[in-house]
Amino acid sequence: MIPKALIFDVDGTLAETEELHRQAFNETFAAEALPWHWDKAAYRRLLDVAGGKERIAHFLASKPDGTERASGRIAELHAAKTQRYTALAAVGAPLRPGVARLIMEARQAGVRLAIATTTSLPNVEALLGAAFGAEAMSLFDVVGAGDVVPAKKPAPDIYTYVLERLALPAASCVAFEDSTNGLKAARGAGLATIVTPGIYTEGDDFGGALAVLSDLGEADAPFRHLAGAGEGDSMVTLNALSRWLAAA
């Protein structure tokens, strides 16, 4: 029952990156002399919209001051924001507890690894490169990122895309997410899902998750069990995942 592949979301799941994204958006708006600043409360609401370009478009639909100067420039603004984010991520986004440990355990055991995210590929490359070095992307058999599918989470399309390229059934894989939209996407593709809520998703509804945990856990820093499987365990390991799947 050991999974054949582990499929990871990125933002909030691999690392607490959302504050870096918020900073990059706000710095871009300031550089463009746009009178916008997304505070934490506003950004939490905007995170209900998956995808950076989609987030800007949703915000413009509310017709804030400066809309006329930004209309038709969503892709340009997003590209500028991505440049700022990748610079920030390269130096300031440590992986969440247990992520590197589980990735390396999977690699050593021959379990395949994949990424399924709505964030753009340069963002993924910057984060993973900072964490794992120049060979980071080679750790993953499949990387589904950005606009490779038209429908963003909570649609299951990005997970379906990854599963097709892995050539594996959903029942043999496990997804890792941090948000309700991510959980809906993974479950929509038929994947058992581990949720580790991030700073912007604590308290969300994660019904249907295989397990809800504070993080993936380390030997000297066990995870906090929040719901589902994993009570009595301290770390997410391949053996633990096997037991949880068998009992589900």
Catalytic residue ranges: 9, 11
- Beta bridge partners of residue 95, listed in sequence order: 15
Cβ pair 170, 189 in contact under 8 A: yes
- Beta bridge partners of residue 143, listed in sequence order: 115
Cβ pair 187, 208 in contact under 8 A: yes
Query: Would the CA dihedral through 53, 56, 59, 61 be positive or negative?
Result: negative
Cα 162 to Cα 158: distance, rounded to the nearest angstrom: 6
Cβ pair 29, 137 in contact under 8 A: no
Cα 51 to Cα 69: distance, rounded to the nearest angstrom: 21
Q: HEC string of 2-57?
A: CCCEEEECCECCCECCHHHHHHHHHHHHHHCCCCCCCCHHHHHHHCCCCCHHHHHH
